[in-house]
Amino acid sequence: MTGARSDAAAQIPAVGRALLALGDRWTLLILQRAFLGARRFSQWQEALGVSNSVLTSRLRELEQYEVLIRVPDPAYAGRSEYRLTERGLDLWSVLVAIWAWEKRWVLARPAPLPELRHHRCGLACVPRLTCTCAPHPVSPRDTTALRRSNARVADVSPARLHRRTSASPHPGDALSFLPGTMELLGNRWSTAVLAAAFLGVRRFGGFERDLGIPPVILADRLRRFVELGVFRRVVYDERYGREEYRLTAKGLAFFDVLALLVRWGERWLAGPAEPVLVIRHRRCGRVLEPVLRCDRCQAVLNRREVRFML
């Protein structure tokens, strides 16, 4: 990334830069198709039905973040294709975690999600998040999230630069239709509210102060998260009817995606400053090193040993 935009991005902490790079529905779907073999502009257009302008802008951004690299197309002289870099390939676990969450928690789908097969054991699996220290599943309750003393959640959820588009992938396409994830990651304020909840914020005033979010938008996001079953409303003061918002099992399960995004951001986008957010694993006492394991054979998964059965 170059120029003023590069200078501005350099001031954003690693996790914020990761969300800036990936927190968009078209970006996630473009990456998903890249892992399934898409390399040419026409392949993404055909698979996703995305407009020329949106596809061009997202591919350019993925190049700027060094997730994709443009190379000459060996089949067509004078044309280019896009390939995943090492940084891009390292996102496979984030996309698999998104698939696993959608499969478990988003049941009202016009077309079912495909199975994921682990070729080492030969079985269909649903990955589980663990730490590298042990095969035990890791949930938010097994970790401690610490943020720099002067940091607000707003610091890790920067404003995104592109407008929301009205077009959507066709719901009949099982892979492209990820409604739950797009509600949580595809909108800046949604992601910020979710991150604040994982850091222990529960009350309306707490969200408002920590995020700097307009009250009308906050009320809408909280209402929507309750409708989605990600939050539940709990009365903590019956005398005054005061309420707070707590993560449900569905909301807590999205921790897997966020933990892998934090790890990816710190690995590839970290600057010289200390991390603004650190997730520690209570069992080993160290910074969480999240990995996905097969729920059938318990082996740590790697991208070369798993495949969606389309």
Task: Report the CATH architecture of 92-309.
Answer: Orthogonal Bundle (1.10)
Task: Provide the pLDDT for residue 187.
Answer: 80
pLDDT category at 25 given cuts 50, 70, 90 is: confident
Report pLDDT for 40: 95
Judge whether 194 and 259 are in contact, CB under 8 Å: no
pLDDT above 80: residue 122? yes
pLDDT digits 0-9 by tens, 201-226: 999 999 999 898 999 999 999 999 99
Structural domain boundaries in the chain: 92-309
Give the mean pLDDT of 34-48.
Answer: 93
| Secondary structure of residue 267 in the 3-state scheme | helix
DSSP, residue by residue, 171-229 = TT-TTT--HHHHHHHSSHHHHHHHHHHHTT--SHHHHHHHHT--HHHHHHHHHHHHHHT
Report yes or no: 254 and 96 within 8 Å, Cβ to Cβ. Answer: no
Contact 33, 44 (CB under 8 A): yes
pLDDT for the residue numbered 200: 92
Q: How far is CA 245 from CA 53, 127, 135, 193, 208, in A?
A: 39, 28, 31, 11, 13
State the virtual CA torsion across 290, 295, 299, 305 in degrees, nearest 10.
Answer: -90
pLDDT tens sequence across 147-193: 876 777 776 666 665 555 545 555 556 667 788 998 998 788 898 89
Percent of the residues in the chain that have a pLDDT greater than 90, as a whole number: 63
* Amino acid at position 283, single letter: R
pLDDT value at 72 more than 50: yes
pTM of the model: 0.91
Give the tens place of pLDDT for each residue, 234-278: 998 888 888 999 999 999 999 999 999 999 999 999 876 677 889
